[in-house]
A and B are shown apart, each in its own frame.
Chain A
């Protein structure tokens, strides 16, 4: 079998297995939707003025929540899933098959990117139907590509971060300890107005804010052009390469106890 066929085979089984865990799949898919509702309840969905015209506040909520959903499922979710699989001996068994290590990791990244795309699509459709959000058709390719690039980046980083996680019990504190502070300083939940400059610099180094801003660009109804935000996408691409290289080098197939 060709390596391409092997990867496709692997993606199919990873995908199937992911949706077979009903609780995990449900909350993964519904969680961002709950956030969208809560944002609307707490902060309202007022008309706001931005350069070019007025739009609903949800026009900002949806891309921010989409960014959060990508980080949540691809980085946090995949890292925890990999840590559990490693503890259960599933990864070690994979290592004893002809499937190359990189092909296994790539299949995980592809599968999680497809999962994230679906989850984001649910939030976007809800925004379009119920919260007065608009997505320009000319921006759609940019939006999809941004979601996929962001998902691939955070999946690669999620696999790489497992090198810092000795076992599944240690996964939530380590992974959340990295993801949650970065989500807070990256303007995903709240827009920082009084934060010191260095904190903004930190947020600009890491990829979350770049994903959120790139998605906002692709969502802005008054944005000229096709919604591709080259500078933010470039930062994401750099982190993708970094994550893939670190994952390829440090990913471990057996837990440390």
Chain B
């Protein structure tokens, strides 16, 4: 096995009764990269990350995290990872600084508390009691505590769920700061833009299986279709000879005409040549490359209904 990998997972399976929450997945995460496990609710993300953290036992498969088997809960392993759970709490009566100091005290080489608070942007709240923090600030404190011991690997389980857009932007900035510290980050999210913004590589998980893996650009490139969309003025129809020159069937919906083509150059020429000749305005014409969202929806669309039918038991986020 490669010693360079931060995380190596082979044929990981976790069953609850007859239900496979994780149905045999392989993952390889390089040191120093930000890796996102992306999937809809109930896809098996939290189950997977909690097995990697040592919080849950696996049913079968092999797992190596920083060269350790996390299920053994070895102290040498716990000293090198920082864990930010999806649902977690801190002693509410301590101040922000005290809470970070408390956790820093468990590690042999902790980061200076001031530095940790700077990374997560909680310097001004250092003397605020934990119970007085807003939801977004508490989440940043969760990350600060995960960082307190200067871990080589940081787990972030849905770090921005429930955030407003501003708080999400701030949290993303924080994760980018982590990258500059050289940390390996293993992130789970059901937000595509989050994976696209933060991750070097993404594994898409649904129904307990990895259904796609690669850089965000790779995943997009794997979906080669470009969408051409336009509207025609009232009373104008697309002549059959033009339609047949467009390489793909034209679908009409809500007054829009759409077609998906591998290469837009020739169809665009056929379309605009006809429109120019006939003096027809195609003012709404758009040409769109697929987004990660399109890829994600096409990948997970078929499994989403199955997940609805058999949701994995999830714990709600407790009030603090």
Contact = CB atoms under 8 A, between A and B. Distances in A.
Contact of B105 (A1, A17, A257): A1
A16 B91 CA distance: 10
A88 B85 contact: no
B290 interface: no
A178 interface: no
Contacts of B94: 13, 16-17, 20
B91 A97 contact: no
Contact of A93 (B78, B88, B149, B315): B88
A90 B130 CA distance: 13
A92 B79 contact: no
Interface string A115-141: 000000000000000000000000000
A96 interface: yes
Nearest to B86: A89
A172 to B, nearest CB: 18
A98 B98 contact: no
Nearest to A91: B89
Nearest to A13: B102
Contacts of B107: 97-98
A95 B55 contact: yes
B54 interface: yes
Interface residues of B, number: 30
B106 to A, nearest CB: 5
B177 interface: no
Nearest to B87: A89
Contacts of B91: 13, 17, 90
A93 B318 contact: no
Contacts of B105: 1, 6, 9, 13
Interface residues of A, number: 23
B93 A17 contact: yes
A255 to B, nearest CB: 8
B98 A16 contact: yes
Nearest to A168: B318
Secondary structure type dominating chain B contacts? loop
B80 to A, nearest CB: 9
Contacts of B129: 20
Contact of A97 (B87, B103, B318): B103
A229 interface: no
Given A17-B91, A20-B93, A98-B78, A93 B106 contact: no
Interface in B95-113: 98, 102-103, 105-108
Contacts of A1: 105-106, 108
B90 interface: yes
- Chain B CB within 10 Å, residue with most, of A87, A96, A257: A96
Nearest to B95: A20
Interface in A201-249: none
Contacts of A92: 55, 85, 87-88
A87 B54 CA distance: 19
B93 A89 contact: no
B149 A98 contact: yes
A49 interface: no
Contacts of A255: 315
Contacts of B87: 89, 92
Contacts of B150: none
A221 B54 CA distance: 56
Contact of A98 (B85, B88, B89, B106): B106
Interface string A170-205: 000000000000000000000000000000000000
B202 interface: no
A225 B81 CA distance: 56
Contacts of B88: 89-90, 92-93
8 closest cross-chain pairs (CB), A and B: A88-B89, A20-B93, A96-B83, A89-B88, A98-B78, A89-B89, A90-B89, A9-B105
Interface of B: 53-55, 75, 78-79, 81, 83, 85, 87-94, 98, 102-103, 105-108, 129, 145, 149, 315, 318, 320
20 contacts: A6-B105, A9-B105, A13-B105, A16-B98, A17-B93, A20-B129, A87-B318, A89-B85, A90-B88, A90-B91, A92-B55, A93-B88, A95-B55, A96-B54, A96-B55, A96-B85, A97-B106, A97-B149, A99-B106, A257-B315
